[in-house]
């Protein structure tokens, strides 16, 4: 399994490469960056540790590597300024991103490869990638709220003195200001979270606020997120590479679930061979469901502005004819075995 990282010379891209190296699951890691020296330097540094970790091929390359990649992770982009919202990044990042998609198409993306979008605003850019790359929508996956969810779990664990790997609490919707905490299904070590000693609504609200502001705080303190986002991306890469079918809050094209249509945003999604295998519709509280629908509305409005600027008028993302949008219905095996490694 070869993973190429476009933006691999940057903080998120190089942290992803390091997380994948430590994971030791994928066989090749290729770093691609407009700053070729930076990509070369990061690849060299990673390679120097190879004898202590795993037998992988790690190198820097150019866009032509896309044609032989199984998974392409896009982390190239401009970083958010400390007080800038993710959606404010739009105008600065859309043009850059569309240029990268065009370069990928020229290089020849295989129809059975997977694309993982990380650059912000991730939900908007994931939608553009679904629409422009010509891959099945199931194979284009945005990181969505995977990072927000892991931050949420870790923050809850710290505050409530609980083991972080036993905290299960989701954030869904937009990777941005309208993200939604899902308290109704949150548990710690199998207990409903509201039965955990020390938890109450005020504590919960404080932790969610800290989680929502975590990205801006990290940017202010160290310039940008690296380690946690690298591990979050690894979670998605490994779910595909190992066909583990983990349910992750990735951003995918939603057409029906939760009454939402024609946007990419995070809902619980089974990820494995073939990419998105199932979008799961949880029984949410009315407040949570409305929150999710609000995220969809915010994103659709933004997309309409972006599309108008790019094409002179809004258009719709098309799902592949055979795509199983129905909730809970697995993608037929014939649709994904071609990509199995």
Ligand X SMILES: NC(=O)c1ccc[n+]([C@@H]2O[C@H](COP(=O)([O-])OP(=O)(O)OC[C@H]3O[C@@H](n4cnc5c(N)ncnc54)[C@H](O)[C@@H]3O)[C@@H](O)[C@H]2O)c1
Q: Which residues are catalytic?
A: 175
Q: By CB under 6 A, name the one of 22, 96, 98, 319 that touches ligand X.
A: 96
Contact 339, 274 (CB under 8 A): yes
Q: Residue 149 or 331: which CB sits closer to ligand X?
A: 149
When asked if residue 238 is in the footprint of ligand X (CB under 6 A), the reply is: no
CB of 21 to ligand X, least distance (A): 17
- What's the CA angle centered on 44, arms 43 and 49, to 5 degrees? 100
Question: How many binding residues for ligand X (CB under 6 A)?
Answer: 31
Task: For residues 306 and 310, give the distance between their C-alpha atoms in angstroms, rounded to a whole number.
Answer: 6
Q: Residue 115 or 162: which CB sits closer to ligand X?
A: 115
3-state secondary structure the chain: CEEEEECCCCHHHHHHHHHHHHHCCCCEEEEECCCHHHHHHHHHHHHHCHHHCCCCEEEEECHHHHHHCCEEEECCCCCCCCCCCHHHHHHHHHHHHHHHHHHHHHHCCCCCCEEEECCCCHHHHHHHHHHHHCCCHHHEEECCCHHHHHHHHHHHHHHHCCCHHHEEEEEEECCCCCCEEEEEEEEECCEEHHHCCCCCHHHHHHHHHHHHCHHHHHHHHHCCCCHHHHHHHHHHHHHHHCCCCEEECCEEEEECHHHCEEEEEECCEEEECCEEEEECCCCCCHHHHHHHHHHHHHHHHHHHHHHHHHHCCCCCCCCCCCCCCCCCCCCCHHHCHHHCC
Q: Which residue in the shown chain puts its C-beta closest to ligand X? A: 10
Part of the chain binding ligand X (CB under 6 A), chosen from 222-230, 266-274, 295-303, 306-314: 222-230
When asked if residue 147 is in the footprint of ligand X (CB under 6 A), the reply is: yes
When asked if residue 75 is in the footprint of ligand X (CB under 6 A), the reply is: yes
Task: For residues 234 and 242, give the distance between their C-alpha atoms in angstroms, rounded to a whole number.
Answer: 12
Part of the chain binding ligand X (CB under 6 A), chosen from 93-101, 164-172, 194-202, 302-310: 93-101
When asked if residue 79 is in the footprint of ligand X (CB under 6 A), the reply is: yes
When asked if residue 225 is in the footprint of ligand X (CB under 6 A), the reply is: yes
When asked if residue 13 is in the footprint of ligand X (CB under 6 A), the reply is: yes
CB of 230 to ligand X, least distance (A): 9
CB of 11 to ligand X, least distance (A): 4
When asked if residue 263 is in the footprint of ligand X (CB under 6 A), the reply is: no
Q: By CB under 6 A, name the one of 9, 61, 181, 249 that touches ligand X.
A: 9
When asked if residue 6 is in the footprint of ligand X (CB under 6 A), the reply is: yes
Q: Residue 174 or 307: which CB sits closer to ligand X?
A: 174
When asked if residue 104 is in the footprint of ligand X (CB under 6 A), the reply is: no
Q: By CB under 6 A, name the one of 69, 70, 120, 302 that touches ligand X.
A: 120
Q: Residue 44 or 338: which CB sits closer to ligand X?
A: 44
Under rule CB under 6 A, which residues in 19-38 are in contact with ligand X? 33-35, 38
Q: By CB under 6 A, name the one of 1, 60, 122, 157 that touches ligand X.
A: 122
Q: Residue 66 or 143: which CB sits closer to ligand X?
A: 143
Q: How far, CA to CA in Å, does 251 sit from each of 123, 179, 201, 207, 239? A: 6, 12, 28, 23, 15
When asked if residue 330 is in the footprint of ligand X (CB under 6 A), the reply is: no
Instruction: Give the footprint of ligand X on this chain (CB under 6 A).
Output: 6-7, 9-13, 33-35, 38, 75-80, 93, 96, 99-100, 118-120, 122, 143, 147, 175, 224-225, 229
């Amino acid at each position: 399994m070869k993973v190429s990282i476009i933006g691999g010379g940057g903080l998120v891209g190089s942290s992803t490469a390091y997380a994948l190296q430590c994971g030791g699951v994928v066989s090749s890691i290729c770093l691609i960056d407009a700053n070729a020296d930076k990509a070369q330097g990061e690849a060299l540094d990673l390679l120097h540790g190879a004898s202590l970790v795993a037998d992988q091929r790690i190198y820097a390359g150019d866009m032509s590597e896309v044609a032989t990649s199984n998974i392409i992770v896009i982390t190239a982009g401009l970083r958010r300024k400390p007080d800038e919202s993710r959606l404010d990044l739009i105008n600065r990042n859309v043009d850059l991103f569309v240029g990268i998609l065009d370069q990928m198409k020229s290089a020849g993306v295989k129809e059975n490869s997977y694309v993982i979008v990380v650059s912000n605003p991730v939900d908007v850019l994931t939608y553009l990638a679904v629409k422009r790359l010509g891959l099945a929508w199931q194979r284009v996956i945005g990181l969505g709220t995977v990072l927000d969810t892991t931050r949420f779990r870790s923050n809850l664990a710290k505050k409530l003195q609980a083991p972080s790997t036993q905290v299960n609490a989701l954030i869904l919707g937009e990777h941005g200001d309208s993200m939604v905490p899902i308290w109704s299904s949150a548990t710690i070590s199998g207990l409903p979270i509201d039965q955990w000693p020390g938890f109450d609504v005020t504590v919960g609200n404080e932790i969610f606020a800290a989680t929502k502001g975590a990205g801006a705080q990290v940017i202010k303190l160290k310039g940008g997120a690296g380690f946690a986002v690298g591990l979050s991306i690894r979670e998605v890469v490994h779910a595909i590479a190992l066909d583990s079918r983990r349910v992750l809050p990735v951003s995918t094209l939603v057409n029906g679930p939760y009454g939402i249509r024609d946007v990419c945003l995070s809902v619980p999604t089974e990820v494995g061979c073939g990419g998105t295998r199932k979008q799961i519709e949880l029984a949410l509280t009315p407040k949570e469901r409305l929150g999710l629908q609000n995220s969809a509305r915010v994103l659709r409005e933004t997309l309409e502005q972006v599309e108008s600027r790019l094409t002179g008028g809004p258009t719709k993302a098309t799902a592949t004819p055979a795509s199983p949008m129905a909730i809970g219905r697995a993608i037929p095996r014939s649709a994904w075995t071609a990509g199995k490694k």
